[in-house]
Structure 1
């Protein structure tokens, strides 16, 4: 499990290192250690994209904080390796003086933003963003905004020091304008924004500067690694049968949306080797697609199930509201998705009937209906407040907020998952995810942990399946439908189990 920490925890962990450096009479010792890591990874990027280091050009965009000092010392190290290094000081009077002196001694040049943006000037091979660090908030400001906009337009790779400037360290809020990094080099431990804003961080490299891992706290964010997901996937043992592996019941689909029933039930079948029950008007279509599914006319007649999935394509009328109420009263872990979320938003009292864990799986629009409006600039904060509010009312709720970066929160731990693309943003994809999550709940995946873990495991395989489906015809990828994603689920499970 990878973990990312809030700014306060990182600052606290850094304090002894900085104090020891100052006591030794070398206050920049930690900074130079960090800068050596920046220089190392920048040189590796130069070699990767240009085939070499000597004679290549690097532009530093330097702010007034410690990140600017890191960039300046890194520039001095790159200059010593034969790079042509120039630096734009966005606030010359507040630039790190010893870092500036080190760059000058190494033969680096200080240039103005005007020079860098001049028409016809050849751009650098790589730029280093050292404008702001952990304390930075809000968008990029001039002159850094203009310089980095020119670099982005030219397609220049950017190495961000600690965090891309214009991204808030704790919330992951991405302001406009901001840096879009090819590579981010950070120090000791991950910051929360590395997970929340991963699409603009690029590849993240963590440099060892002697920093100890902070203890996990309320602000710590967790991200699974493939091996953990693979080990968590339920596999039948020698004494198992269809019942011991978990029975999941699906209330989904309608005359208007029979496909939702097929996708959700089929995903549940694909996810585990247990048994799937189906309730709804889509029985004929479901059995035609998956004859192993057992169909029932009503929720009351569905028989025993270890978990339920309710909502995809089921409508928002009184029949669905009544069925949600009946399912929640059964005291089984339940996934509420799609139309069920709309019903809950209109009738919040429904959740009071839940006597077991509930997993809500909204996309941004559905979350808006559930909350009555939320701060989209702070996704993790809005999610935690909503989940904690449900828990305070005695509802054992976990929420999976879908997106390019999917968040799962059970009121105590926030998990984050970026599968590297948005190919899964297609109609019916959520129905597949709901079916998989329900099957994992029924199987007992993550026993002893909260409902958040099977949700994370399902979302991980869902994302891997989308990636595999999108790239089935080539490395560039191509649009997919939910049926393509569903077909790729077994391969995704196998790949993660082998990780």
Structure 2
């Protein structure tokens, strides 16, 4: 059964909460009970018992702080030694009453005759067995401010920190867009109450919440509407993440009656005499991921290297269902530039294309359009407007250059700070589907936004992007007609490629270094395991 994760904008969560709150359903108490129960599990696993364990709960003024106060009361009744550290002038009144009734010590962190002061609050927090972050929830915008920001900075500077459990989100992340506008305390475990916020799946914020669990509050979250997005405070409407169980229903498994053409022919324009390895890796990924046939189009030297490594590859032009363009290609190489332009023409772009520069289909459009993956050296060859079955696969530096050519003044660091924003911008400006490579891969297109985080850090290695491009080419070739007729499918296929790419890195060498060549070799058994649901 498919188990794709969906993170939704705060406006949709509020719409789901309203009828329950109007009916008197105690959502805060439900959330607090689940938070306390999970916190107790953590304490038993780490300390052996809840009774006597030291718990510090950082609370802010809103409902997130209310959740933390109610959870503090429940943990105190189980025998934990609980202290609430209040950041700000006020806290949730009902939560404060519950904490007082349970004997929880509530201390202010700021200045005042009975306040801990920030150094005292930091010492208290650092000495805890469990630190609960209930400062800001999904309704917050912007960075942590004031004493909360100063306290978190002190905790971040410490050599060692206790286990951190975040309520809803690590406080201070961009809830709707995944940005990190200020100091954020990384969470060892994040409990998303009722629904996941987009910031939990989007980089760079997702790096502060590597382990997220959903607390089911029985919310009936309304379905997203086409083109529906939140306002500036909410960010985008939804982010999706494919899971391993989604692969069997999405991967193109051949039928007994299929021949190599029905399985999909991938055309590859990659590599030069200087960079023949890029061609070998791109072609190898397409071959090993199950393409019915792979054609290589390019100069004699990389062609010889490709055939030596993969004798089943067919050199030269011919029937193709999808193209992969650009890995290892020098835009100044006249021969390869010509091949790239010819392939873009088959995607409906360029001087030979059916797709007008304005983004409007011309009268000669027909069923001969081919999906295309545009990577590395081919990105500079793109026309101003593309079509959604054109998948751009830049890393941050390449995306900065692509957007720079379209009027944005950016550097790599700008992209890395706001990956979703700039991937979305590139999609809007070009009309293409955009797969932004990184530790967490973001895919934006007409079918929505996906974020895939399967890749281990070892995958940041030369040639890994070439492998991803070839793998995606296989998926687009197998479902080429659907991809053109239903462009929303393309973003999902791109996310699927990112998932399998990351899993193949782990298959190649679990927990250790991996090379692009190892990745290619691991693709067949990775795909076999995923589509047959073998246990890992």
Q: What is the TM-score with the length of structure 1 in the denominator?
A: 0.89
Q: In the alignment, is residue 291 of structure 1 matched against residue 308 of structure 2?
A: no
Q: In the alignment, is residue 342 of structure 1 matched against residue 374 of structure 2?
A: no
* 2:448 match: 413
Distance (Å, rounded) in 2 between the aligned partners of 1:112 and 1:313? 58
Q: In the alignment, is residue 426 of structure 1 matched against residue 461 of structure 2?
A: yes
Distance (Å, rounded) in 2 between the aligned partners of 1:371 and 1:308? 23
Pick aligned residue for 1:386 from 406, 411, 426: 426
State whether residues 272 and 443 of structure 1, in contact with CA within 8 Å, keep that contact through their aligned partners in structure 2: no
- Post-superposition CA distance 1:145-194 (Å, at most 9, x none): 34444545323111111111110110111233112111111222211112
Residue 470 of structure 1: CA displacement? 4.0
Distance (Å, rounded) in 1 between the aligned partners of 2:401 and 2:153? 36
SS across alignment from 2:459: coil
* 1:394 match: none
Q: In the alignment, is residue 17 of structure 1 matched against residue 20 of structure 2?
A: yes
SS across alignment from 2:23: helix
- Post-superposition CA distance 1:54-91 (Å, at most 9, x none): 21111000101110111000000011111110011001
Residue 275 of structure 1: CA displacement? 0.6
* 2:365 match: none
Q: In the alignment, is residue 496 of structure 1 matched against residue 530 of structure 2?
A: yes
Pick aligned residue for 1:33 from 30, 34, 38: 30
Q: Structure 2 vs 1, CA of residues 49 and 229 (structure 1 numbering), >3 Å: closer, same or farther? A: same
SS across alignment from 1:362: coil
SS across alignment from 1:244: helix
Q: Structure 2 vs 1, CA of residues 133 and 266 (structure 1 numbering), >3 Å: closer, same or farther? A: same
- Post-superposition CA distance 1:307-332 (Å, at most 9, x none): 11110011111433322221111231
- Post-superposition CA distance 1:3-35 (Å, at most 9, x none): 1111111122211222222xx8xxxx2211111
SS across alignment from 1:128: strand
After superposition, residues 113-132 of structure 1 pair within 5 angstroms as 113=109, 114=116, 117-118=119-120, 123-132=127-136
Q: In the alignment, is residue 161 of structure 1 matched against residue 167 of structure 2?
A: yes
State whether residues 230 and 493 of structure 1, in contact with CA within 8 Å, keep that contact through their aligned partners in structure 2: no
* 1:58 match: 55
* 1:88 match: 85
Distance (Å, rounded) in 2 between the aligned partners of 1:202 and 1:358? 31
SS across alignment from 2:6: strand
SS across alignment from 2:220: coil
State whether residues 442 and 452 of structure 2, in contact with CA within 8 Å, keep that contact through their aligned partners in structure 1: yes
The 10-residue stretch of structure 1 (306-315 or 372-381) with the greater mean CA deviation from structure 2: 372-381
Give unmatched runs, 5+ long, in structure 2.
110-115, 229-236, 347-368
Residue 292 of structure 1: CA displacement? 0.8
Q: Structure 2 vs 1, CA of residues 205 and 120 (structure 1 numbering), >3 Å: closer, same or farther? A: closer
Distance (Å, rounded) in 1 between the aligned partners of 2:455 and 2:476? 25
Q: In the alignment, is residue 6 of structure 1 matched against residue 44 of structure 2?
A: no
State whether residues 410 and 450 of structure 1, in contact with CA within 8 Å, keep that contact through their aligned partners in structure 2: no
Pick aligned residue for 2:295 from 241, 265, 277: 277
Aligned residues: 471
Distance (Å, rounded) in 1 between the aligned partners of 2:455 and 2:65? 29
State whether residues 118 and 147 of structure 2, in contact with CA within 8 Å, keep that contact through their aligned partners in structure 1: no
- Post-superposition CA distance 1:252-309 (Å, at most 9, x none): 010100100000000000111411111112011111111111112xxxxx11011111
Pick aligned residue for 1:324 from 328, 340, 360: 340
State whether residues 56 and 128 of structure 2, in contact with CA within 8 Å, keep that contact through their aligned partners in structure 1: yes
Give unmatched runs, 5+ long, in structure 1.
297-301, 392-396, 472-476
Distance (Å, rounded) in 2 between the aligned partners of 1:206 and 1:463? 23
SS across alignment from 1:3: strand
- Post-superposition CA distance 1:96-134 (Å, at most 9, x none): 122122112212112343467449767001111111112
Residue 336 of structure 1: CA displacement? 0.6
Q: What is the TM-score with the length of structure 2 in the denominator?
A: 0.83
After superposition, residues 70-149 of structure 1 pair within 5 angstroms as 70-91=67-88, 93-113=89-109, 114=116, 117-118=119-120, 123-149=127-153
Distance (Å, rounded) in 1 between the aligned partners of 2:491 and 2:187? 30
